[in-house]
Structure 1
Amino acid sequence: MRAVPRLTLVIASWLVGSGCVYYNGIYNAQAEARLADARLRRNDDGEATTRFQRSAAIAETVLVRHPKSKWRNRALYIAARSGAMAAQCERAMPRLQQVMAGTTLNTDERDRSRLALASCEVRTGLSADARPRLDSMFRSADREIARQSRIWAARAALSMGDRDAVPAYLGNLDAGVLQWELISASMSAREYARVESLLVQRARLGDYREDVTRALRELITDGRHDAAERIVAQYDAARVRDDSRARMHFTLGDVHARSGLDSIARRHLYAARTLSQRDTVTAREANARLALLDLKRVSSVRELDTLVARQDSVVWRTRYAREVADRVLLFRLLAGRGDPENASLYLAAEIARDSLRAPRLARTLFLRIARESPLSPLVPNAWYAAALLEPDSAAAWQRRVLADFGNSAVAARLRGEDPADRPDFVSSPELLTFNWTDALRLWSDSVRKLRLPPKPAGSR
């Protein structure tokens, strides 16, 4: 057998090594970049970012392991462009500028590099520099580069607070991802008319995200109940997934329940329960709220105890029901303390009114103080608090405060006078604060013990 010439071995080894660089590095990096671009065309920015990250990482490996390979320039371009599109801008921006200063890029690659650089400029707060660059690419022969340029120009405008320019940049593009960004920015700016308009557009397309529930809560908090209802109705009409619709109806039901709009709350909570699978978190939380909405109807401690006892263990395992249980525990601690001035009972009535949202029970306790504890300095406060919960009797009970407790701070307020010089102006709040602090300490200790995990069998 003839010996293989040394030069031939060297050339063969170089060819094999060069091929490995390409197939194990450049080829895979380009493949990931192509998949990322395909995701961008489908507005799937999340998956696109993941693919670009992989592409950049593979290209970086080529640069580190084969710094003198003929594929270096190609690897540098892929690492720079994919890194920028994956938001790895600190490393990508100087590399993009290096690549663009050279002569190895074709027209398409140069436009992609310019777009990638502009995306990093937007991400790093240089939107004013990015916008002219992006504007110049709107008429690119590559339709996707033109589309992405308009999307990033809209993002640049958005980051500069120029929200009115966004629709002009987008034109007739269905840039769903960007519209969600605009929705978020509009919510931060409390531009709720724009939020509603954009959400209705996304609803018509059946495009649901968890941001919808946040928007619904903010709209209702701002008093835009009809807007929230219209958005949910549009999603219902688009027949998005049942679990998504359930979360939206649950959100409206929850907010309305906390606001005391029980009839509207029930309608949405029933819808949430119907649309949810039986054992989902949404279904359980909806059931808990429906069960405990009846707190509003109880008018005595016995009725409260009956309602609480009637709920099954599934209801009490929900987050909402545990919150209610903690409030009920505090209510019971206060209601059972029995101090001479009935300050604890007054505080229990406030818990019933404000935390349990049980106004009838609160009124019962305020009246009990007023009628059964005539020497308590809190009696005029109790009459007044009960009057606020019973409009039909309010005038008569306020007249009683003026007639029987004319020197009280409450009577002074009713007459439009300054209550600060009345003897109970400071003493009554101090009495309530003392009893509240003591009761809160006992309640906190009780809640802590209830939350402790059970000890293992055999332990002391």
Structure 2
Amino acid sequence: MKRVLALGLLLTAVGCVYYNGMWGAKRLARDARRFESNGQDAEAKLAWARAAEKAESVVVRHPRSRWADEALVLQGEGRAGSGDCVGAAPILAGAMTKVDDAALRERAQLAAAACALARGDPAGAGRDAMPVLQSTDARRRSRAAELAGRAALARGDLPAAIDLLGRSRAPSAAPGRALALIAAGRPDEAATALTAPMPGGGGGGGRFMEADWAPVFDELAAAAGAAVASRALARFLLEQRIPSGARARLLLADGDRLRTAGALDSAAARYAAVAALVPDSAEGGRARVRALQVQAITAARVEDLAVPRAALERLGQAGGASALDARGLLQLMTRIAAPGESDADRFRAAELARDSLGAPRLAARLYLDFARLHPTSLFAPKAMIAALPLSPAAADSLLAVLDSGYATSPYTQALHGAASLAFAAAEDSLALALGVRHPESRALGSRVAAPVPGPRGPALEPVFPAERGAAPPRPGPPRPALRPEDRP
């Protein structure tokens, strides 16, 4: 009787230990999913790794228990969720072939598909995810549609990607579908899809997938223009609940796209909105710096840079994440507003205003000032030619001056399509003057032949023709080494 009682107590204790191990693994998996939904990726990976460790102990110690299959699947899910797809692959492959329970097998297939996408194998991801589209569980069907849709997008199968991602409620499915619509040449549909409510509302209890959404507006701007992308973003921000930090970064990127497209007033409005939304953040500081950059871009004279330069100096001294940006922009403006005394320095100031600052009216003024102050310079006609597209109103008068006063200049001839070797020489001279090219230094050996050892001067003995062309004797075949018995 005592033996039976002891055996019962032992089995109960073993069962409790086993149940506690499985319960702990499942609790850690729930924590990992919660961390993922909140955007806490590092915490999620750690929780997944711990869940995999606990599940592995159950698999090793109790391989024939009724929870062994679930532990095996959870071990693979944990490895995959922690980023260890190499370690997860054989575990998940074994689970997909050994496990009979449909729900567990589908979980293994989804984890395997996610790992296939992570390692750049869209074909494998689609192969693992497609069977789960027939699942009786809506959440697993949605996850399968997302993974299969992302795999189709990676393969370039845009119709399949649009269809599959449209069937998913996963947070990353909507931006993926928008990218697929843009790639398929349907930007209007993509812009309309942006106004659809996102799962979880895009905020609150759900995670806003900023890294997935930001490229959507970049691609929409590239396909349909910055103005279209800006209007789509405005509607998107009205419809979705998005954290203030992510909202500020989206607006900041939109301002940059508008500034690059030349819509300076709209860009300035975007930067002002960011500065008002998050005034004490890094994004707010960057927005103030870029608003001053827009102010400098509209400058027509060097004197117009005085106000933004003073503001940038204050921002640079205040410190913070944007101080480095402020100091860099201030240094650029100083090189433009206060160049050196040489011709090259003044020409460089005009180049910087055009190419680095992006201020066309200021650059045109500086080019024309250079040509007026240095009319005999080799680069005066180049300065006038550079001002032509920047100052269209003065184009006719500039062309007349070039044809009358600089007709023989290689720059004027190149403007009229005449090839000239002097043009390349002039460009080389300008590059040297601006410091963008260093003069080629020829080594001494390239001008003077290397010394040749041997006798110097005329030969003292006559050299006969037969001897002069005689080739040295060829070496004979190598002699075989003497064997020990052949040696004397």
TM over 0.5: yes
1:264 paired residue number: 266
Match of residue 20, structure 1, among 17, 41, 49:
17
Structure 2: how far apart are the matches of 1:34 and 1:310?
51
Structure 1: how far apart are the matches of 2:126 and 2:308?
62
Instruction: Indicate if the aligned counterparts of 2:431 and 2:437 stay in contact, CA closer than 8 A.
Output: no
Instruction: Indicate if the aligned counterparts of 2:347 and 2:370 stay in contact, CA closer than 8 A.
Output: yes
Q: Which runs of 5+ in 2 are unaligned?
A: 203-207, 439-488
Structure 1: how far apart are the matches of 2:195 and 2:90?
42
Change in CA separation of 1:375 and 1:85 when aligned onto 2, cut-off 3 Å: closer
Q: Mean alpha-carbon deviation: is it higher for 151-160 or for 82-91?
A: 82-91
Q: Mean alpha-carbon deviation: is it higher for 397-406 or for 77-86?
A: 77-86
Structure 1: how far apart are the matches of 2:102 and 2:257?
55
1:452 paired residue number: none
Q: Mean alpha-carbon deviation: is it higher for 156-165 or for 200-209?
A: 200-209
Structure 1: how far apart are the matches of 2:151 and 2:272?
43
1:321 paired residue number: 326
Change in CA separation of 1:371 and 1:213 when aligned onto 2, cut-off 3 Å: same
2:210 paired residue number: 210
Structure 2: how far apart are the matches of 1:239 and 1:296?
33
Change in CA separation of 1:393 and 1:165 when aligned onto 2, cut-off 3 Å: same
Change in CA separation of 1:329 and 1:399 when aligned onto 2, cut-off 3 Å: same
Structure 2: how far apart are the matches of 1:204 and 1:70?
38
1:174 paired residue number: 169
More relative contact order, 1 or 2 (CA 8 Å, 6+ apart): 1
Give the percent of matched residue pairs that are identical in Structure 1 and Structure 2. 25
Q: Which amino acid aligns with 1:320?
A: D
Structure 2: how far apart are the matches of 1:361 and 1:215?
34
**TM-superposed deviation, 1:256:** 2.5
2:146 is the counterpart of 1:141? no
**TM-superposed deviation, 1:238:** 1.8
Aligned residues: CA RMSD: 4.0
2:94 is the counterpart of 1:98? yes
Q: Larger helix proportion, structure 1 or 2?
A: 1
Structure 2: how far apart are the matches of 1:100 and 1:438?
62
1:366 paired residue number: 367
Structure 2: how far apart are the matches of 1:160 and 1:43?
30
Change in CA separation of 1:329 and 1:203 when aligned onto 2, cut-off 3 Å: farther
Instruction: Indicate if the aligned counterparts of 1:250 and 1:269 stay in contact, CA closer than 8 A.
Output: yes
**TM-superposed deviation, 1:234:** 0.9
Structure 2: how far apart are the matches of 1:129 and 1:303?
60
Change in CA separation of 1:311 and 1:320 when aligned onto 2, cut-off 3 Å: closer
Instruction: Indicate if the aligned counterparts of 1:43 and 1:176 stay in contact, CA closer than 8 A.
Output: no
Structure 1: how far apart are the matches of 2:214 and 2:96?
44
2:357 is the counterpart of 1:356? yes
What are the within-5 Å matches in structure 2 for residues 301-450 of structure 1?
Answer: 301-305=302-306, 307-311=308-312, 313-314=314-315, 317=319, 318=322, 319-331=324-336, 335-336=339-340, 338-339=341-342, 342-418=343-419, 420-421=420-421, 423=422, 425-437=423-435
Q: Which runs of 5+ in 1 are unaligned?
A: 441-460
What are the within-5 Å matches in structure 2 for residues 32-47 of structure 1?
Answer: 32-33=28-29
Q: Structure 1-normalised TM-score?
A: 0.76
Matched position secondary structure for 1:138: helix
Report the structure number with the largest CA radius of gyration.
2
**TM-superposed deviation, 1:406:** 0.6
**TM-superposed deviation, 1:428:** 2.7
Structure 2: how far apart are the matches of 1:120 and 1:144?
19
**TM-superposed deviation, 1:27:** 1.6
Q: Structure 2-normalised TM-score?
A: 0.72
Structure 1: how far apart are the matches of 2:166 and 2:381?
65
What are the within-5 Å matches in structure 2 for residues 188-199 of structure 1?
Answer: 196-199=191-194
Q: Which amino acid aligns with 1:273?
A: A
Number of equivalenced pairs: 425
Q: Which amino acid aligns with 2:431?
A: T
Instruction: Indicate if the aligned counterparts of 1:85 and 1:119 stay in contact, CA closer than 8 A.
Output: no
Q: Which amino acid aligns with 1:432?
A: L
Instruction: Indicate if the aligned counterparts of 1:22 and 1:71 stay in contact, CA closer than 8 A.
Output: no
Q: Mean alpha-carbon deviation: is it higher for 104-113 or for 248-257?
A: 104-113
